[in-house]
Each structure stands twice: as C-alpha cells, then as structure tokens.
C-alpha cells in the first residue's frame, strides 16, 4: 500500500461520524461540528445534513460556514455544494487574520450572519492572533438570532468566560434582499473560564429597541403605544428606543432586552408582509411573559449556544434555563462526539431545567 493510501486510511479511521438527521436535524449540528473540528483539529463526516428541513441539505448560509472554516484551517473538504447532504471535512492548522465572509457569495441570499458567526466565532477565539471580520448577508431574518441578540445577549455571556470581541453593524440586512454588513474583531484567548448562570435575581432593566428601514414611521409610534399598553399589564415600564437604520431592503424588528441581577435574556420579533405592527409587540410580550413565569436564568436560545463554550472551558459550568429544547439535547449529543464530556441535564419542572458540565479546559 502506498504512503498516500496509508495516510488516507489513517484519516478515515480517525474521522468522527455525525448523523445530521439526529434530534432536531437542523443546521446547528453542522455548525457545532465545524467549530469543534477546527478547534480540536479533528476530521469529521456528516450525513443527512438538515434532514428534517424542507428542502434538506446545505443552504447558502451553511455553505458559507463550511467555506469560512475551510479557509481558516486550510481544510480538505468533500461535498461542499448547495443542497449537498453529505460532507467530509479535514481541517489543517487554525489561522487568525483578516477575513471577509459573504453568505450570498454562491447565490443571492439573505442568509443569516449570526448563524455564520456561531460557526466561526468559537474557532477564531482560539486562533494564534485572533481575527478581524467583515460579514455580509442577513442581520435580521427568520429562524436565526438577530444581530441585536448576538450583541446584547450572546457576547456578554461569553465575555463572562473571558472571551473578548467587539462587533458593530454598518448596514441592516432584511429578508429577502439581505445586503447587511457587520464588522468585528475577536481577541485570542488561551483558555475559557467556567460559567455560572443559575439565578437571575431581580429585574434591573427592560429595554425595547424598535428598528425600521424604509417603511412608514407611523409603525414605530403604533408599536410604542402597544408596548406601553401590554407591559403596563405587568406593571412594567420598558425603556423604548426607536431606530431608523440604513438598508438596501425594507424591514422592521423589535428586540427586548431583559437585564437581571444574575444575567440577561432577549426576545425578538420580525415584521413581515401583512403582519400588523402590533402583533410584533404581542410576540415579544408573550415570549418575555413565558420566560418570566419560570425560574430559569437564561432563555432557551442562549442555553443552546453556550454548550460548546462550557464543554471547552476549565472547571464546572452550570446554568438554569426557562426551556429545555430539542435543539439543546441535539447539540449536547454532537459535542459529546468530539469531546470527553458528559452533560448533566435536570428537569426542574415541565420546562425549566438545569444543565451542568465539567469542561475539558482546552488550551490553545
């Protein structure tokens, strides 16, 4: 057998096999696999990519993530094409530097910048030099965290673990046009600290941001009145900020920040054709109310996003969350394929739950 064939067999033998149809069967399985593959320098193969989505396979934002991590690690990749349901990824050495990632590079798309950031942010924390980034695509689109959520909820949570990153939005990208532009810088880190987010404490601040591009300003006033009416029912008076923002498209969003003594939670709603402005307020109100009726410290979206960082950190990390979702359980299974950790998940009642893990103390 030739040396080349021997090396190929060695890589295949070490390759981690991921079932993309397991659990909720969405894109998070791929994003987590790419991030951990790059950090740990472990090759993987995934089959059944986004098997539970219609249509299945790689969409522009997922393909952008594959190409981004491949560029960051000089990876060998098979199956990196739109609609592909199978991918082999063999990373090389992780490199920092300056990168420009465009979700619409392959085809016109308002694919999510924040989901792309979920893929590249963890590896770049552990790169030798950190990174400066420009990302292009959708900043406020369905089925993904808004940029406001990423900036106000996700980044402060990882900062508690020692991560240092600053991001700013230059242009807002709405569905279906996209065209958003986000810039940022990620500082390198040697090791993540453990995290404790188990008790939310007293509500300190409630702030609603009303965001609008190229639509009538009367929408903002209707939403302001509705916010005061709805939250008045809870004897709460949120701070209200209005923002008219630049974008090549049209759109509107509401982001509600709930800041407690022990942590933060965030709730978003996006406008859509035929959707009353008042319904957007109702959606964030109901989401906040649903969260506030539990004792969980963090919301369900942040719970899913923090698992990877906790598994890599040094020591015991723990959080309580308002909802234990299928996304969370699926992400746990993927992480445990890459790392010798075991998450302990306790249901405190019908929804509220506690997640604990002893991290591996990964050090760059």
Question: Residue for token digits 């995934």?
Answer: 46
CATH 3.65.10.20 in the chain: give the residue spans.
11-197+298-360
pLDDT tens-digit series, residues 270-324? 999 999 999 999 999 999 999 999 999 999 999 999 999 999 999 999 999 999 9
CATH 3.30.360.20 in the chain: give the residue spans.
203-292
Q: Is the confidence at residue 51, as pLDDT, over 90?
A: no
Query: What is the CATH number that goes with domain 11-197+298-360?
Result: 3.65.10.20
| Residues that are catalytic | 327
- Quote the CA–CA distance of 225 and 38 in Å, as a whole number: 48
- Average pLDDT over the chain reads 93
Q: In what order do the strands lie in the sheet with 263-270?
A: 239-244, 203-213, 251-260, 263-270
pLDDT tens-digit series, residues 177-232? 999 999 999 999 999 999 999 999 999 999 999 999 999 999 999 999 999 999 99
Question: Which token pair is 117?
Answer: 């950031």
Distances (CA, A) of 107 to 68, 134, 137, 178, 329: 16, 18, 11, 12, 32
- Quote the CA–CA distance of 66 and 213 in Å, as a whole number: 31
In CATH terms, the superfamily for domain 203-292 is RNA 3'-terminal phosphate cyclase, insert domain (3.30.360.20)
pLDDT tens-digit series, residues 86-145? 999 999 999 999 999 998 877 677 889 999 999 999 999 999 999 999 999 999 999 899
- Quote the CA–CA distance of 49 and 62 in Å, as a whole number: 10
């Amino acid at each position: 057998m030739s040396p080349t064939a021997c090396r190929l067999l060695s890589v295949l033998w070490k390759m981690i096999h991921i079932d993309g149809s397991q659990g909720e069967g969405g894109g998070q399985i791929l994003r987590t696999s790419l991030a951990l593959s790059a950090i740990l320098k472990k090759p993987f193969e995934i089959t059944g990519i986004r098997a539970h989505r219609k249509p299945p396979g790689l969409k522009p934002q997922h393909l952008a993530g594959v190409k981004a991590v491949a560029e960051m690690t000089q990876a060998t990749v098979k199956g990196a094409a739109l609609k592909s349901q199978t991918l082999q990824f063999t990373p090389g050495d992780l490199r920092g530097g300056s990168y420009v990632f465009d979700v619409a590079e392959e085809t016109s798309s308002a694919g999510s910048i924040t989901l792309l950031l979920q893929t590249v942010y963890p590896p770049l924390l552990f790169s030798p030099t950190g990174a400066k980034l420009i990302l292009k695509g959708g900043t406020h689109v369905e089925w993904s965290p808004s940029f406001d959520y990423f900036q106000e909820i996700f980044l402060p949570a990882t900062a508690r673990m020692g991560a240092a990153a600053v991001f700013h939005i230059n242009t807002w990208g709405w569905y279906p046009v996209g065209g958003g532009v986000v810039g940022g810088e990620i500082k390198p880190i040697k090791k993540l600290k453990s995290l404790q987010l188990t008790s939310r404490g007293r509500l300190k601040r409630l702030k609603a941001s009303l965001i609008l591009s190229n639509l009538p300003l009367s929408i903002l006033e209707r939403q302001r009145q509705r916010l005061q009416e709805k939250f008045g029912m809870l004897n709460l008076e949120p701070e209200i900020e209005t923002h008219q923002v630049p974008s090549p498209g049209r759109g509107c969003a509401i982001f509600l920040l709930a800041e407690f003594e022990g942590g933060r939670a965030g709730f978003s709603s996006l406008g859509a054709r035929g959707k009353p402005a008042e319904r957007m307020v109702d959606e964030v109100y109901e989401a906040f109310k649903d969260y506030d009726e539990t004792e969980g410290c963090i919301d369900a979206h942040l719970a899913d996003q923090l698992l990877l960082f906790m598994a890599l950190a040094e020591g015991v990390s723990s959080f309580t969350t308002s909802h234990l979702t299928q996304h969370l359980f699926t992400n746990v299974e993927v992480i445990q394929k890459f790392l010798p950790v075991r998450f302990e998940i306790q249901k405190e009642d019908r929804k509220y739950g506690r997640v604990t893990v002893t991290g591996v103390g990964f050090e760059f």
